[in-house]
Amino acid sequence: MNFLDLDSNSLYVYDKIKEIYGDGFLSDLYLNKSNIKSVISYLKSLGIKCINELLIYKIDVFFKDVDFLECEIKKFDVSEFVNLVNDDYFMIDNYLF
Amino acid sequence: MTGMKKQLIDKFRLMLAANSKYYDMFDDLNYLLYSIKDAPFNLIEIEKKYLPYVENNLSDGAKEFVKDTKSVLDVFEKSKYYDLPKEVVNNIVQNVYFSEVMEKLDRFLLHCSQREKIEEVITYLENLKENEYLEIEKIKMILINDLKFDCRVKSDIFLLMPKYNIFVSKNIENMYDKEMLEIDIISNEELIDIFKEYGYNFLLVSEKMREYAKIYGDLDNIRYMFEFFKDNNVKFSENDEKYLYILFKSDEVCINNLKSICDDYGFELNSLLNRTPSVFWDSIKRDKVNRKPGPPRPGGDEVSLSGSNGDFKKNVELIKSLGYPVKESYDKCSSVFVCSYRKLKGNVDDLIRYGIDPNNFSKIIKLTGLTSSNILNTIDRFIELGELDYLFDNTSRLALDCNHVIFHRLYKVKKHNMENPTNPIDYKNISKTGSISYKSFITSYHDTTLKINNDNKNLVNNFVEPCVLFDEDKEKVIRALDEGKNDDKDPLEMSDIKFLEENYKVNDLVYSVCGFTFSRLKVLRLYSSLENVDIDLDDLLFYCLTYNSMLTKEDVEVIKNEINLKRKGDLLL
């Protein structure tokens, strides 16, 4: 099971997501896989490295529309955003939630 | 398959036979352990009456303990402590002289107590039906706890177990195929017609979803859903799985649930359809097929596609009752709305138990923090590491597992900083706005600075489980913690807690013993839950204090000695 085409530790990531959010949410994840993959690609293109951690603990980021995310993130200093989120993924709350 | 089951049973029987000489020692060693624990003062009596008995009756393995015990007695007899009061001597003997012997005995007894469990496994295997999977996790622990048996046979068992389950899976799949043939499936023509009636082409639907519709769909429900879509101007493409699953899985009951939520809280249908399609159906399907766990559904979905209709409704009501703006919260974190209601409610109750005012939830706690798998243990861990500010700076962090690698790294860094005050590691960022974050070597999944990662986190710092409990007690403790929230009784009125309060309380959150920080809230909640449980623990207080704390063997000894000496001292006063 790697419907999000994760690079590494995919089993761990899906297990943790299931543990935290439950089976019902896994259905939503699966049925939104196309959007989620687009967000993963976008965040990676910015230089975000902690994709797995964001998927586990800040999964709602990946349910947002990519264009919306781009607009939101561009309101800030992008390199500062990337550095802070790479240092501590919970800091994404300060920008997007 | 019968052959595989027989092979497994034979291997466990072999294990039983080969270990019998150890298992036979269980009663004697247990008696020796309790003699030391219960009445060490009368050591001469133990030496004279008991040791010759065990020496004559036990195997070479057990004699090792007798030898250890004797050497301790010899040292003790010559020591100056012999003239001290009985309680003090008991304490010294138990904790200073015999600690190593008792530890060895505990370990050996765990091994010796395996007989009953292996016999249970054999009976379990014998009674296993053809379509029942092996519960590998349960059996695995027995193999891991076994200290003496031949590793090759153990590894054979480890290899056989998953193979056995693969056979079971194939067997179920065959049964499942037969079952499918007996199901009254919808015909292709019926589906083509109903799709056509509402302006869609069933033949454009993927083969996987066409099969799914035939087996799991219900014509009345599908018609109801088409009407629902039509009434709400929802149009979709024939290859959009999200809508197709809703079409084939939802029904009138689920839709009525959602309609009332949308009316009451202003949810938009499109938003629900797009972000959380699982709210359109429930895990318990009211259809013609009695779904069974086992093989993948036709079409080979990678996930089971459970629904969350029931949880969604209850979660919305709970979130509303806590004062969060419901619609706005859904827009920000829809994941919380579809997670298990039981978990969400449990976490809310736990936080109230920890003193969070229900009226302040929406001001203090981020909704995503409420998805934590073990919220109180996570808070305790932050308290014990002295990092509560970091947690409350952003309560999404409540979702961190209390065994997360972050905590192991923090422990290492803080230990380094205590030992090297002139050369500390800077592990925090404080932004201009005052918000706190950790540097990436604390939070990242892969860390090359401290070299503590998920695979080695439990080994690097050498933490131990401070209290070794017998299995029976462990179960009682877990059950009591799950069920027993003894809220009627004020733990502060209990004598053990009064002792901690008087000697070690730093503030409402913390006890400090010899420089080690313990969550006061943890001790109070555990003690009040366990106080009335019939647990044969030498020291319930010590168990509650050190439960789930990050402690090495040496730390445990220091704390144990301090607590015991202080308690004896208090008694003498």
Query: What is the structure's pLDDT at B431?
Result: 81
A82 lies in a domain? yes
pLDDT of residue B174: 63
**Which of B258, B270, B440 to probe by mutation at the A interface, max A CB count within 10 Å?**
B440
Of B304, B335, B443, the CB nearest to A23: B304
Q: pLDDT digit string (tens) for B8-18?
A: 888 888 877 77
Query: Does the pLDDT at position B546 exceed 80?
Result: yes
Highest average pLDDT, of A82-91, B89-98, B133-142, B539-548, comes from: A82-91
Of B278, B335, B439, nearest to A60 by CB-CB distance is B335
Q: How far apart are CA B63 and CA B496, in angstroms?
A: 38
CA distance linking residue B267 with residue B338, whole number of Å: 14
Residue B243 reports pLDDT greater than 90: yes
Number of domains present in the structure of chain A: 1
Is it the case that residue A64 has pLDDT exceeding 90?
Answer: yes
> Is there a domain that residue A3 lies in?
no
B261: Cβ contacts below 8 Å, ≥ 6 apart: B267, B312, B313, B316
Q: Is the pTM of this model over 0.80?
A: no
User: How close A45 gets to chain B, by Cα (Å)?
Assistant: 18
Task: Indicate the pLDDT class of residue B300, thresholds 50, 70 and 90.
Answer: very low
More confident position, B77 or B182: B77
Range of the domain at A85: 10-96
Residues of chain B found within 8 Å of residue A91, distances taken between Cβ atoms: 394, 435, 437
Q: Considering the domain boundaries, does residue A50 fall inside one? A: yes
Does residue A17 belong to any structural domain of this protein? yes
| Residue B183, helix vs strand vs coil | coil
Quote the CA–CA distance of B418 and B424 in Å, as a whole number: 8
Q: pLDDT at residue B330 above 90?
A: yes
B440/A87 Cβ within 8 A: yes
ipTM, 2 dp = 0.95
pLDDT tens, position by position, B360-408: 999 999 999 999 988 999 999 999 999 999 999 999 999 999 889 999 9
> Which residue has better confidence, B177 or B525?
B525
Look at the block and give the residue holding tokens 């019998």. Answer: B20
Region B304-326: what's the mean pLDDT?
93
Tokens of B16: 């039983």
Among all residues of chain A, which has the CA nearest to that of B344? A21
Chain B residue at shortest CA distance from A52: B445
A5 lies in some domain: no
List CB contacts (< 8 A) between A59 and chain B: 335
Over residues B76-100, the mean pLDDT reads 63
Does residue A4 sit within a domain? Answer: no
Phi and psi at residue B430, to the nearest 5°: -115, 120
pLDDT given at position B76: 62
Backbone angles phi, psi at B429, to 5 degrees: -110, 135
pLDDT given for residue B81 in this prediction:
57
pLDDT of res. B135:
80
Is residue A81 in some structural domain? yes
Q: How many helices (H) and strands (E) does chain A have?
A: 7, 0
The confidence band for B193, taking pLDDT boundaries of 50, 70 and 90, is very high
Q: Which residue of A has its CA nearest to B437?
A: A88
Does residue A56 fall inside a structural domain? yes
CB atoms within 10 A of CB B123: 11
